[in-house]
Amino acid sequence: VSELADLYAVQLSDIAIAQSKHRLSHLPEIELHTSTKNDVAAITKSLAETVARGASAKKEINELEAAGHANDAAIARLNKQLKTVIAPREAEALQHEIATCSQQRSQLDDRELELMELVDLCDREEAQVSSQLAHAKQLDAAAAEKLAVAQREENQSLERLVQQRSAQALVVPASLLNTYEAKRKHRPDGAIAKLSGPTCGACHLDIAQGEISALRALPETERPECPHCGCFIFFEVGY
Ligand SMILES: [Zn+2]
């Protein structure tokens, strides 16, 4: 009977260990940290997009400026040519060409203005998103720290339980412990149970009074088991 009392203590520790492990993998701090990590990733991505948009606009501005210089040179060349031609038809053709180039130049300028506004917008957005990112990183660091603390605490309590379980198991005969482990595979929290009145604490079925008396009367060498679920029945002293 005292062996079963010791075994019952082992099972209490095993249940507490399982609960502690479950808590470890379901800490609310895990979800919080995942959420702050996702925020940092999303804002980092958005910042990269803004920077890329600004860079691409700046690149296009450089290209437009090169095109503008080429355009200016073409207009200058055409104007110079215009001074040398005498035939009105040729002059008209050159004037037409100059007008086309000027129109192109004005389109280039309009586009460049548009792009400069875009660059300005991107710069402002970059500053704003950068400060958002800094804030998100702070929250993420705080969440990581909180998670580490919670994990450390739960791990410490788990370690204490594991040590306690080892000490408790030392006084239980190895063969009984093996049988218990085998029973636990089917019933993790009810390999050994107390009776609550006539009710088995593991399967919650009632055991007939006659059977209970027979179980109580078993010799020391035989261990009482629930006739329904097969768990060990542990009769507390005085019951
Ligand atoms: Zn039972």
Q: Is the pLDDT of residue 173 over 80?
A: yes
Q: Quote the pLDDT of residue 239.
A: 45
Q: Quote the pLDDT of residue 238.
A: 53
- The predicted-structure confidence for 185-236, as pLDDT tens digits, reads as follows 988 889 999 999 999 999 999 999 999 999 999 988 889 999 999 999 988 7
For all residues of the chain together, what is the average pLDDT?
95
Mean pLDDT (whole number) for 10-16 = 97
- The residue type at 159: E
Q: What is d(CA 232, CA 5) in angstroms, rounded to the nearest whole number?
A: 11
- The residue type at 13: S
Q: What is d(CA 195, CA 57) in angstroms, rounded to the nearest whole number?
A: 79
Q: What is d(CA 144, CA 102) in angstroms, rounded to the nearest whole number?
A: 61
- The predicted-structure confidence for 19-66, as pLDDT tens digits, reads as follows 999 999 999 999 999 999 999 999 999 999 999 999 999 999 999 999
For residue 178, report the distance from its CA to the centre of ligand 1, in Å. Answer: 19
Q: Quote the pLDDT of residue 2.
A: 85
For residue 228, report the distance from its CA to the centre of ligand 1, in Å. Answer: 5
For residue 134, report the distance from its CA to the centre of ligand 1, in Å. Answer: 58
Q: Using N-to-C axis directions, what is the helix angle for 28-84 and 88-170, rounded to 10°?
A: 170
Q: Is the pLDDT of residue 15 over 70?
A: yes
Q: Is the pLDDT of residue 237 over 90?
A: no
Mean pLDDT (whole number) for 85-114 = 95
For residue 16, report the distance from its CA to the centre of ligand 1, in Å. Answer: 21
Q: Is the pLDDT of residue 10 over 50?
A: yes
Mean pLDDT (whole number) for 91-114 = 95
For residue 4, report the distance from its CA to the centre of ligand 1, in Å. Answer: 15
For residue 101, report the distance from its CA to the centre of ligand 1, in Å. Answer: 97
Torsion of CA 43, 49, 54, 58, to 10 degrees: 150
Q: What confidence tier does 1 reach under pLDDT thresholds 50, 70, 90? A: low
- The answer to whether 174 touches 60, Cβ cutoff 8 Å, is no
Q: What is d(CA 67, CA 60) in angstroms, rounded to the nearest whole number?
A: 10
- The answer to whether 205 touches 178, Cβ cutoff 8 Å, is no
Residue list, CB under 5 A from ion ligand 1: 200, 202-203, 226, 228-229
Q: Is the pLDDT of residue 4 over 80?
A: yes
Q: Quote the pLDDT of residue 39.
A: 98
Q: Using N-to-C axis directions, what is the helix angle for 2-25 and 174-186, rounded to 10°?
A: 50
Mean pLDDT (whole number) for 152-157 = 98
Q: Quote the pLDDT of residue 236.
A: 78
Per-residue H/E/C for 144-213: HHHHHHHHHHHHHHHHHHHHHHHHHHHCCCHHHHHHHHHHHHHCCCCCEECEECCEECCCCCECCHHHHH
For residue 140, report the distance from its CA to the centre of ligand 1, in Å. Answer: 49
For residue 38, report the distance from its CA to the centre of ligand 1, in Å. Answer: 48
Q: What is d(CA 35, CA 28) in angstroms, rounded to the nearest whole number?
A: 11
The better pLDDT of the pair 237, 151 is held by 151
Q: What is d(CA 28, CA 146) in angstroms, rounded to the nearest whole number?
A: 10
Is beta strand 195-196 parallel, antiparallel or unpaired with respect to 192-193?
A: unpaired
Q: What confidence tier does 161 reach under pLDDT thresholds 50, 70, 90? A: very high
